[in-house]
Structures are given as structure tokens and as C-alpha cells.
């Protein structure tokens, strides 16, 4: 048994109405400590916590999960409790029992197709603006979501330019590349393709944030939600792989992409690449430079 820190355990007990009786670590997360927790009343829940979690980050994640769930398109874990006391910050979620390989062999649409169609429905549900009514985080990094009138403006002002400054300040990016990104940001109105309404985006859709439940149904986790261009989620899915061609095919069948979408994939990968430069340093700078050169 690996107990939760006492302060977290007490906060979970107060929020959920039953004390944690057992906690087993869950791997796979990039930032927080995660555990499968059995409560004294027999419920099994998922709890993630971190002593250094920034104030409001778990509350923003809880909001993001509910915002995605409102679309009724893809399953998200139900939020059971959020703790914002310093030293005892946590997020408690419904435990999603993972699929075993045999669960994935169902009749009808495959999990890959279900995910593609669900993502299309999520995007189509839409968002009130390019942005969000609150700020949130991508991984551990805070991000501003103050709405902009156009997607190109949002991508430049709220994503590429702030991340470029962070990457330069952290030493991961040189001034010449930063200037090239600034020039590129000014040309985004010509590069972002035909206008699209704001889509309801997950915002951090690498394969670790999409799991299968015991019925082989897709579940999305750990979002960085905002209203944005739908090709952003698809570009992120391609960046680190892990999503089969059937997912993209099912998506495109339900919600065809605008002409030129293939030429925008790398453009929309620039933001997550910059996030990686800030978090993990120079190794990703070469990828950033390659993308910037391509669109120069
Ligand atoms: P981090 O904030 O550290 O990135 P994640 O939210 O990605 O943490 O979660 C860490 C791990 O826990 C992931 O591998 C994920 O598969 C698993 N996980 C996340 N939420 C749940 C849940 N509600 N039920 C079961 N497992 C979960």
C-alpha cells in the first residue's frame, strides 16, 4: 500500500465523504502523482495530486472535463471533488477501469472509429469563441484563453507569441528563430485556411490523454480546453502518433476537413512543439526551426 500524503487524504475524505483506505499508484502521467484509491465506503476513485500544483490548475482541469462532457460526444471521467488548499491540492475523478485487449474486439464500430466519430461530434458541438471564459494550463504551463475575434489572432496572441517568449527566456530558443516565429505569426491570416467556426477542443490530445474504458469506449482525459480550430486537435494527434488511420478516416467521413488541411498539420503542431521546448529544452528547437522554415 502506498498511502496518499496525510493532508491530501484528509482533504479527499472531507470532499468525498469517506476516508481513503487504500491507494495504489497509477503510472503514465507526466506531471502529477496519480493513484487508484479505495474509500472506506468501498468506492474506487482516481485521485491525482502534487505538492507544487499551481493554484487553480485542478479546478481548471475539472472545468475542462465538464466543458467537454457537455457536448455529449466523448466520455470523460466525472469530477468527484477538487481540493485547492495549499499542500493538499487534488483532483478526484470517477475511476475508469481500463480496457483489456479482449474488450476491444466488439462488434460494430471499432474503438478507433468510435473515437474519430466522437471527436468529430465534440468539435462540431462548438464553442462560444476562439478562447474560453477562463485561463487554464497545458501540462504545467499556464495559458491565457482571453478570446480573440479570429482563430489566426488567437493562435498568434495567446499561443505562439507567449510560448516563444517563454522558450527564449528559458534558453531553449534563439533570437533568430523567435523573430521568424513573430514574422510567421503576422502571416497566420493567410495560412490558417478557410474560416471555420470555433470548435470545442480538447487542446492537449496526445495518445496518453485518450484511453479506452472496459467496453472499448474512448475516454478523454487531462484537457487544455478552449474554442479553436478543429485541425489543432488532429495535428496534435499526429505529432506523437498512437492514433490509427481508422480514427482519422472516421473523423473525416463525419466532419470533412477544409481543402489544404494536410498543408496545415505542421503549422498547427508549432504550438505543442513550443510547449515541449519550454518544458524539455533544446531538443525540440530543431523541430520548431524546421516547421518555421517550411512556412517562411
Ligand atoms: P498528469 O496530470 O500527470 O498528466 P493524467 O491525468 O495524464 O496525469 O493521469 C495519469 C495516468 O492516470 C494516465 O496514464 C491515465 O491513463 C490514468 N488516468 C487518468 N484519469 C483516470 C481515471 N479517471 N481513471 C483511471 N485512470 C486514469
pLDDT at position 181 is 98
Which mutation among 25, 48, 66, 74 tests ligand 1's pocket best, with the greatest number of atoms within 8 A of CB?
A: 48
Q: Are 292 and 256 in contact (CB under 8 A)?
A: no
Query: What is the spatial distance between Cα 147 and Cα 153, in angstroms, rounded to a whole number?
Result: 9
97 CA from centroid of ligand 1 (Å): 11
Domain-wise residue ranges, the chain: 6-95, 103-295
Helix boundaries (H) for 40-149: 57-69, 111-125
Closest CA to 46 of 252, 269, 221, 289: 221
pLDDT at position 192 is 98
Give the number of other CB atoms < 10 A from CB of residue 3: 13
**Dihedral sign (CA 266, 289, 227, 66):** positive
Long-range pairs for 24-30 at CB < 8 Å and ≥24 separation? 28/208, 29/222, 30/139, 30/208
Contacts (Cβ under 8 Å, ≥6 apart) of 281: 170, 171, 172
Burial of 293 (0-12, 13-18, 19+ CB in 10 A): exposed
pLDDT at position 107 is 53
Contacts (Cβ under 8 Å, ≥6 apart) of 52: none
Q: What is the pLDDT along the chain (296 residues), one digit of tens a residue?
A: 456 999 999 999 999 999 999 999 998 777 889 999 999 999 999 999 998 888 999 999 999 999 999 999 999 999 999 999 999 999 999 999 887 654 444 556 789 999 999 999 999 999 999 999 999 999 999 999 999 999 999 999 999 999 999 999 999 999 999 999 999 999 999 999 999 999 999 999 999 999 999 888 999 999 999 999 999 999 999 999 999 999 999 999 999 999 999 999 999 999 999 999 999 987 899 999 999 999 98
Take atom 25 of ligand 1 and give the residue whose Cα is closest: 96
Ligand 1 contacts CB of residue 95 (under 6 A):
yes
Superfamily of domain 6-95: Phosphorylase Kinase; domain 1 (3.30.200.20)
Q: Are 268 and 160 in contact (CB under 8 A)?
A: no
Active-site position among 204, 215, 233, 254: 204
Q: Residue 28 CA: which ligand 1 atom is closest?
A: 14
Ligand 1 contacts CB of residue 37 (under 6 A):
no
Contacts (Cβ under 8 Å, ≥6 apart) of 247: 112, 113, 115, 116, 119, 237
- The grid coordinates listed for 280 are 524539455
Ligand 1 contacts CB of residue 77 (under 6 A):
yes
Burial 77-108 (b: 16+ CB within 10 A, else e): bebbbbbeeeebbbbbbbbbeebeeebeeeee
Ligand 1 contacts CB of residue 32 (under 6 A):
yes
The DSSP secondary-structure symbol of 142 reads E
Superfamily of domain 103-295: Aminoglycoside phosphotransferase (APH), C-terminal lobe (3.90.1200.10)
| Known catalytic membership, residue 204 | yes
Burial of 184 (0-12, 13-18, 19+ CB in 10 A): buried
Closest CA to 162 of 140, 147, 141: 141
Distance spanning both ends of the chain, measured CA to CA: 55
pLDDT at position 260 is 98
Please state, in angstroms and as integers, the Cα–Cα distance from residue 238 to each residue in 75, 206, 234, 247, 252, following that order. 21, 8, 6, 11, 14
Ligand 1 contacts CB of residue 93 (under 6 A):
yes
Amino acid at each position: 500500500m502506498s498511502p496518499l500524503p496525510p493532508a491530501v487524504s484528509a482533504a479527499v475524505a472531507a470532499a468525498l465523504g469517506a476516508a481513503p483506505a487504500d491507494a495504489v499508484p497509477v503510472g503514465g502521467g507526466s506531471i502529477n502523482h496519480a493513484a487508484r484509491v479505495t474509500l472506506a465506503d468501498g468506492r474506487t476513485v482516481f485521485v491525482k495530486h502534487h505538492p507544487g500544483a499551481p493554484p487553480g490548475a485542478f479546478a481548471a482541469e475539472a472545468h475542462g472535463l465538464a466543458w467537454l462532457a457537455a457536448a455529449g460526444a466523448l466520455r470523460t471521467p466525472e469530477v468527484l471533488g477538487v481540493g485547492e488548499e495549499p499542500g493538499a491540492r487534488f483532483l478526484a475523478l470517477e475511476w475508469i477501469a481500463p480496457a483489456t485487449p479482449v474488450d476491444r474486439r466488439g462488434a460494430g464500430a471499432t474503438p478507433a472509429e468510435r473515437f474519430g466519430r466522437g471527436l468529430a461530434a465534440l468539435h462540431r458541438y462548438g464553442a462560444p469563441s476562439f478562447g474560453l471564459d477562463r485561463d487554464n494550463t497545458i501540462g504545467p504551463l499556464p495559458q491565457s484563453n482571453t478570446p480573440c475575434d479570429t482563430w489566426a489572432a488567437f493562435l498568434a496572441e495567446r499561443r505562439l507569441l507567449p510560448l516563444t517568449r517563454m522558450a527564449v527566456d528559458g534558453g531553449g530558443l534563439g533570437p533568430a528563430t523567435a523573430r521568424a516565429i513573430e514574422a510567421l505569426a503576422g502571416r497566420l491570416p493567410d495560412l490558417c485556411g478557410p474560416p471555420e467556426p470555433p470548435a470545442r477542443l480538447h487542446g492537449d490530445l496526445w495518445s496518453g490523454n485518450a484511453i479506452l474504458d472496459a467496453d472499448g469506449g474512448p475516454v478523454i482525459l487531462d484537457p487544455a480546453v478552449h474554442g479553436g480550430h478543429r485541425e489543432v486537435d488532429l495535428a496534435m494527434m499526429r505529432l506523437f502518433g498512437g492514433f490509427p488511420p481508422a480514427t482519422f478516416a472516421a473523423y473525416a467521413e463525419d466532419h470533412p476537413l477544409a481543402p489544404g488541411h494536410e498543408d496545415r498539420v505542421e503549422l498547427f503542431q508549432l504550438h505543442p512543439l513550443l510547449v515541449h521546448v519550454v518544458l524539455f529544452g533544446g531538443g525540440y528547437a530543431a523541430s520548431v526551426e524546421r516547421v518555421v522554415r517550411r512556412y517562411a
